[in-house]
Each structure stands twice: as C-alpha cells, then as structure tokens.
Structure 1
Amino acid sequence: MTNTAVNSPNVLDASAAVRRVTMLAGSYAAVSVTTVTALAAAGASAAQPVWIRLGIVAVSSLVLVALTLRAARGSSGAYRRVRIVSTVMLAATVVIVALPGMFPVWMRLEQAACALLLAGVALIAHGRTLRTHFAK
C-alpha cells in the first residue's frame, strides 16, 4: 500500500528542491572553507579586512548548511532562517564584488562564485514549491 500524501507531486517537488538547496549550500561552504584553508596554508599575508570577510563567509556558510539540513528534516523555523541567511549573505556578497578596489581581484572572483551559489539557494528557498511545502 502506498501513502499517497508522501508520494504526491508536491512532496516530491519539495524534496527535490530541498536537496538542491542543500547541495548548493554545501558547495558554498566548500568554496568558502577551502578558500580560508588555502589562504592560511599558503601563509599568505592578506589584509585584515580580507581575513575578517572570509572568516564571516566561512562561518555563515556552515550555519547555512546546518540550517538546510534541519529544514530537510522538516523544520519550518530552519527553512525561514535559510531564506533570511541566504538573502542577507547574497546582498552582502554582491556589495563586496561590486566595490572596486576594496578587496583583491582573486577574492572578488571567489565571492562572485559564492554569490552565484547563494543566488541559487535564495531563489529556490523563496520559490513557490518550498513556500507552499513549509506553510503546512
């Protein structure tokens, strides 16, 4: 016997959307943490604002991953936080990329990659499928 509520198209669509959000958030965390790790391992002497920004990005990326995992288990509160964190971090990242001369070119490119991943998270998280799913 099949449970039609569990196998309905809306639940399957929401499940796929949550998987995509989790995958994008994980990729964002991988890029962020790898950048900090590589910079530290290379013994690079980056300016203090670079270290601060990269540290904030790495920590927020890990928080976003934790929230997406909780949302995947059905937490509507975690889902709301995914929407908020992804939107705020996307806005902050776009500002970093857009400001000329404030950060090195390599960092602006890395942040642009992060912005693309965050845009995917934010778009899917704010989409109708997940809004409907978590409104229940």
Structure 2
Amino acid sequence: MNTARPGETNFGHPGAQSAFRAVKLLVGTYVALSVLTLVVIVVLRDHASVVNDAVWTRATIVVASSLLTSAFALRAARGSRGAYLRLRIVSAVMVLAIAVIVAVPGPFPVWMKIEQGVCGLVLIGVVTLVNGKRLRAVFAR
C-alpha cells in the first residue's frame, strides 16, 4: 500500500536512507563552508585586496544556493520527487559554476578560488550520490 502523497514516494530501502544521510551531511558541510566564508568576508571587508565586490556577490549567491540546496535535500529525503529533481539540478549547476570560477582568470582572489574548489568537491559528492542508481531507482516513475 502506497501512503505517499502526490509528488512523493515512499522508500524504506536502507540503501536510500543511507545515501540521503550522506547527502545531508555533505550539503550541511556546503552550508557551513558558505556561511563561514561570508563571515570571513564581513570580518575582512576593509581589506580591498582580499574582499572586492565580486567576492561579496559570489558569497551571497553561494549562501543562498547552499540554503536552497539544503531545503531540497531535506524534502527529497522525506520523499519529494520535485525536491529530488531540484537537488539534482542545483547541485550539478553549482559544480559547473564553481569550475568556471576556479578555472577562469577574473576578479576572484586565490583564497576564494580555493574555498570554492572545496565547495565544489563537496558538491561533487552530492551530485554523485543523487545521480546514483540507488536514488534514481527510488524516484523512478
């Protein structure tokens, strides 16, 4: 008997629950890194060589994105197909955006490129898990 609401799926598969525990841990790490980075930017705001307008803009976008990613992960872990799809899309898009920021010369200082690289590695873990067979099978129609 399926007790899931429309747009949700029931899954008691232990592999799915384990995968979502890992996803939530990784996404939590992404949120923590993003918020910590914004705190560092606030502290160093008077040092133009390490904090410029591009850094402020990017950090704000990353914090917002990390919070959305967290909301999607939590809802997906409760069975929301829509949140699962959004989690897959947002995590992949952020990995691509981070790759561009790290690879292309531009207004971002080296310290931020390193921080973004770490965030990218964390998100690669999320992308790998949410696009893996186990979770795709759970949310297959």
Q: Which residue of 2 aligns with 1:18?
A: 20
- State the Cα deviation string for residues 20-63 of structure 1 (Å, max 9, x = none): 11110110010011100121033344211111011101110010
| Residue 100 (structure 1) shift | 2.5
Which AA in structure 2 matches 1:67?
F
The structure with the greater share of residues assigned to helix is 1
In the alignment of these two chains, the number of paired residues is 129
Give the TM-score taking structure 2 as reference length. Answer: 0.86
Contact preservation (8 Å) 2:11, 2:79:
no
Runs of 4 or more, structure 1, over 3 Å off, are: 42-45
> Compared with structure 1, are the counterparts of its residues 14 and 38 closer, same or farther at alpha carbon in structure 2 (3 Å cutoff)?
same
Unaligned runs of 5+ in 2: 1-9
Number of the residue aligned with 1:105:
110
**CA 1:91–1:6 in structure 2 vs 1: closer, same or farther (change >3 Å)?**
closer
Residues of 2 paired with 1:115 and 1:6: CA distance? Answer: 29
TM-score by length of 1: 0.89
Residue of structure 1 in register with 2:99 after alignment: 94
Q: How far apart, in 2, do the equivalents of 1:100 and 1:6 lie?
A: 45
Aligned twin of 1:51: 56
Structure 1 residues 99 and 55, CA, compared in 2 at 3 Å: closer, same or farther? same
Root-mean-square deviation (Å): 1.6
Code of the residue aligned with 2:38 in structure 1: it is: V
Unaligned runs of 5+ in 1: none
SS of match in other structure, 1:135: coil
Instruction: Find out whether 1:119 has 2:128 as its counterpart.
Output: no
Corresponding residue number in structure 1 for 2:76: 71
